[in-house]
Structure 1
């Protein structure tokens, strides 16, 4: 019996090691492909020279100043959105929740569009601040509408989140229609796009990326409380509300910074945590890093695909993620509904 248990644990360890190595390899290959392929043809030798800064010709500068920051931004934003989705599902105890569905992304989008309309020449830092304020306002509005206590709180959260999402999205569209000359370039951004991301955007989001990962790693043991019933955790003397508040703060930071850079990219927050959970289960010390890796992989490859589906023109990456995530969401909703019945 002990031998079979040890063998099972050993097989599990090897499987996890293989899974993380494969995910890291897929991410590295996706980054290389994203740097090589696009509207301009680049050889592998030229790419190597550009990445090692051995030459400063036009094609090398094109890779260094356009493709490299765009690829890094796609990877970072994918990680942000995937982790934000995982934390949203933990804090709300709803497997179909995400910052996109719960009004957080819509609040950030509305605030950014309002800032662009109200303030001429809005800086990148101001755009980030507007996104944070909008994301926080959307989250607070949802939680205030849902109320507290009662066994149906999480059902009310889902209903309030969907309502707030459509309300804020409608207000955003109204602002764009009424100010179409100053927000004409926002249409591409609102669908979700990384093609405008450069080194300023990467430098702006990098502190939130590092700080968010450090805080997540520090709070990861506490977040395991969210996997059990609140009454049981409170009975064990744990501060569940404080842990949930920190989780929502992390969601606002991760999702708000991602929306400020690349717009409200849909479905990554929802589908990536489910894929990771199906592979490794609910053990957060393994689930969280795998979710981050898969989020970066998905958005990097989605951005690469968005360049070729209408070549030589580029499509918003949000179209690709929606095409992948829409059927997956329907599948999840039907499976969860069947399980509840």
Structure 2
């Protein structure tokens, strides 16, 4: 069976729905997205560095990046504040988008997203514990605890969802995710009130990349790079899983091993992203759906394209967050939610009709 000729979307199991969705793999579309997306990402990074409370000319941006002069205030603003911020946003967008693509492919659940399934809330709860009991902990340990917290959130969601008769369905998984996210968020807020760490957690609640530093990027980058490369190597197996466990096993795939490796990659990506940007959801829901519409069902195309489009979305959203009400900043998570919530309602309504 050739993966490039698969004509069935995992969210549409019957022939009539598969024909209506028409998702053949389109490598030419993927190539256009990659080339156009990378060019747009470079331009958006330049725009994001240039615009802000103090507007800076593009020529100055170029000089600050390639001919840095520490004596110039604008060069310092670019190098110490804006450049790490925009690069952090790109990495966070890539992380959330790739994590969402893997989750949707492995679970065949169109509503799978690290924010909706408790991973973000779990990572935030772990950060609240760190701020409460281990103040001043280095960022390397914060990111490790974020991985553990994301794993806790995912474990609770899948455990609660599996207890219901009839097994996991997309709707039950999201309901369990909402319950677990509410619980962990409430516990985090309780810790914030008791230990008076509300200001420390306010950034993670709002979601944003304003405080990103070069140290955070240096620690985060190897994790994200290894996880994204691992996701690309795993992409063919994820495509098989997206057809169903029976089909995957018939093609000789070790489903359990693939799911374990995929889950580890998702925890790394979600944990690293939340430790930097906070509670930003819906990136992993929107981008994989959009990418599948454009390139088809082959995850060898979906994952790299999702990485580029996810980075582009967060960089543009961060730029918009600074431009909506200058010199004040609108929370990044709120802007993305303006797109994500209607999209989520559309997908969930579609799933309810199919149940």
Q: TM-score when scaled to structure 1?
A: 0.91
Residue in 1 that maps onto 2:7: none
Residue pair 1:24, 1:293 contacting (<8 A) in 2 also: yes
Residue pair 1:113, 1:183 contacting (<8 A) in 2 also: no
CA distance in 1, matches of 2:213, 2:180: 32
Over 3 Å counting, the alpha-carbon distance change for 1:15 and 1:221 in structure 2 is closer
Q: Report matched runs for 1:219-238 at 5 Å.
A: 219-238=234-253
1:172, distance to aligned residue in structure 2 (A): 1.4
Report the 3-state secondary structure (helix = DSSP H, G, I; strand = E; otherwise coil) of the residue aligned with 1:153.
Answer: coil
Over 3 Å counting, the alpha-carbon distance change for 1:91 and 1:25 in structure 2 is same
Matched, 1:111 2:126: yes
Residue in 2 that maps onto 1:93: 108
Residue pair 1:102, 1:139 contacting (<8 A) in 2 also: yes
Root-mean-square deviation (CA, aligned residues, Å) is 2.1
CA distance in 1, matches of 2:164, 2:190: 35
Residue pair 1:69, 1:202 contacting (<8 A) in 2 also: yes
CA distance in 1, matches of 2:307, 2:157: 26
Residue in 2 that maps onto 1:176: 192
Residue in 1 that maps onto 2:276: 261
1:215, distance to aligned residue in structure 2 (A): 1.1
Residue pair 2:119, 2:149 contacting (<8 A) in 1 also: yes
1:13, distance to aligned residue in structure 2 (A): 5.2
Residue in 2 that maps onto 1:53: 67
1:17, distance to aligned residue in structure 2 (A): 3.1
CA distance in 1, matches of 2:225, 2:296: 26
Over 3 Å counting, the alpha-carbon distance change for 1:92 and 1:66 in structure 2 is same
Residue in 2 that maps onto 1:17: 31
CA distance in 2, matches of 1:331, 1:143: 23
Matched, 1:293 2:308: yes
CA distance in 1, matches of 2:155, 2:28: 43
Residue pair 2:85, 2:209 contacting (<8 A) in 1 also: yes
CA distance in 2, matches of 1:152, 1:237: 25
Deviation per CA, 1:28-59: give whole Å up to 9, x if none. Answer: 11101011011112112211110112533121
Matched, 1:164 2:180: yes
Residue in 1 that maps onto 2:227: 212
Over 3 Å counting, the alpha-carbon distance change for 1:64 and 1:229 in structure 2 is same
Report the 3-state secondary structure (helix = DSSP H, G, I; strand = E; otherwise coil) of the residue aligned with 1:216.
Answer: helix
1:151, distance to aligned residue in structure 2 (A): 5.9
Residue in 2 that maps onto 1:30: 44
Structure 2, unaligned stretches of length 5 or more?
1-25
CA distance in 2, matches of 1:244, 1:150: 23
Report the 3-state secondary structure (helix = DSSP H, G, I; strand = E; otherwise coil) of the residue aligned with 2:204.
Answer: helix
Over 3 Å counting, the alpha-carbon distance change for 1:121 and 1:14 in structure 2 is closer
Equivalent residues, number:
330
Residue pair 1:79, 1:295 contacting (<8 A) in 2 also: yes
Over 3 Å counting, the alpha-carbon distance change for 1:13 and 1:234 in structure 2 is closer
Structure 1, unaligned stretches of length 5 or more?
1-11
Report the 3-state secondary structure (helix = DSSP H, G, I; strand = E; otherwise coil) of the residue aligned with 1:337.
Answer: helix
Matched, 1:78 2:93: yes
Residue in 2 that maps onto 1:5: none
Over 3 Å counting, the alpha-carbon distance change for 1:46 and 1:178 in structure 2 is same
Q: 1:323 aligns with which of 338, 341, 352?
A: 338
